[in-house]
Structures are given as structure tokens and as C-alpha cells.
Copies of this chain bind each other. A is one copy, B any other.
Amino acid sequence: MTTLYGYFRSSAAYRVRIALNLKGLDYDQAPVNLVKGEQKDGDFRTRNPQGLVPVLETEDGTRLTQSLAICEYLDERHPERPLLPADAEGRARVRSLAQLIACEIHPLNNLKVLKYLVHELKVDDEAKQAWYRHWIAEGFTALEARLANEPGTGTFCHGNDPTLADICLVPQVFNAERFECDLAAYPTLRRITERCRELEAFRRAAPGEQPDAG
């Protein structure tokens, strides 16, 4: 059985859960409590020396890291219900939307960075929240401009089927809501997120539905 080492609130693990669900693949979950620091334990470090979730262990023992690389692997191994369009331009568009979130927004707002701000830079809670919201606002403004103006956008981020871009969008919106970011300026993002949330694959992947949800 495929095993996903994750954490209910980790956006990166959330992405992989959506991808597994969209593909209709069964998997076990092995929760790693990031708040308790379990990702730094020796046992987990042998699975991922970087000490990050998610890690996906396939049935044959292959260990995969980095959520976007895992999603692309799943897409190559299980080509039915593709997570990327067929044409190179469409694939580049979807990947660039996914990376706008995964390389520009999420890395600045994850737990280890927020911890550094508080513990090393002695930033107070207000400044930490402002940091969080700044990178959400900057990234979502750019993303909204693209989704609202580019002809490739459909019911979902690209066309009328969910892709890797939606897989990244929904966890990032979940995080933004958790930090009480004002999303009024991003109607296209909100529309697409609502559409995704109607799908069972996205619903079952939500943090609150996971076995380790607090």
C-alpha cells in the first residue's frame, strides 16, 4: 500500500492528498506532527533528510519528496484523469500557476519561517501577521490578474477540469482563511476554490477530514 507521511495542516501534504484522490488511488496516512517537531526525529529523517513532509512511499518502496514532484510522478504513473493538459503551452501555464503559489507564496509563510521570525528576529505577533498577509496579498494579486485575464482560465484554473494549479490553489486559500486574510479582492480565486470544494477529491483532502486533525 502507498503511504503518505504528512500533517493535516501542511499545504504541501494537502496538495498530495488532493492529487491521490483525483487519481482515485488508495493510500495509508502516517501523520508526522510538525508542531511537536516529529519531522526532526531520526526515524523520519531517514525517510527525508530534509525533515519535511510530505513523503510518499510507494508499494515498491520508492520514496518521493517535494509535493509538486510527487504530483507529477503520480500523473506520469497514472495518466488517467490527467493533472496537466496535453499541450506544451497549457502544461507550461498550469505549472507556472502552480509554481506562483509553491515557489512565491507558500515558502514565505510556512511554519519554519514563521518560527524564525518569532524566535530569531523577535518579531511580535502583529508583525508576523503582517508578514503573512503581505506575501498572500502580493501573490494572490498576481494570481488573480492572471486568472481573470488569461483566456486559458475556465471553470477551474485551466479549462474545465482540475489541474495541478487547482491542487496548489485550494490549500493556499485554506491557509489564507486560517490567517484571516481578506480575500475580497480575488473573486476569480474564490470562484474557482468554491468549485473545487464541491468535488469529493478536494473535500476528502481537507485538513479537518484527516486522522490527525486536532
What residues make up the interface of A, taking CB atoms closer than 8 Å to B?
49-52, 62, 64-66, 68-70, 72-73, 76-77, 88-89, 91-93, 95-96, 98-100, 102-104, 106-108, 113, 116-117, 120-121, 123, 127, 130-131, 134, 139, 142, 145-146, 149
User: With A and B bound together, what is the CA distance between A72 and B92 in angstroms?
Assistant: 7
B96 near A66: Cβ-Cβ < 8 Å: yes
Kindly list chain B residues whose C-beta atoms are within 8 Å of the C-beta of A106: 103
What are 22 sample pairs from A and B whose C-beta atoms fall under 8 A apart?
A49-B142, A50-B146, A52-B104, A62-B89, A66-B95, A66-B99, A66-B103, A68-B95, A69-B92, A69-B95, A69-B96, A73-B89, A73-B91, A104-B107, A107-B108, A116-B131, A120-B127, A120-B130, A120-B134, A121-B121, A121-B127, A121-B131
- The residue on B at minimum CB distance from A123 is B121
- The residue on B at minimum CB distance from A112 is B138
- The residue on B at minimum CB distance from A48 is B142
B121 near A66: Cβ-Cβ < 8 Å: no
B68 near A99: Cβ-Cβ < 8 Å: yes
| Distance to closest chain B CB from A6 (angstroms) | 16
B103 near A142: Cβ-Cβ < 8 Å: no
Q: Within the complex, which residue of B92, B93, B108, B142 is in contact with A108, where a contact is CB–CB below 8 Å?
A: B108
Residue from the set A93, A96, A123, A139 with the largest chain B CB neighbour count within 10 Å: A96
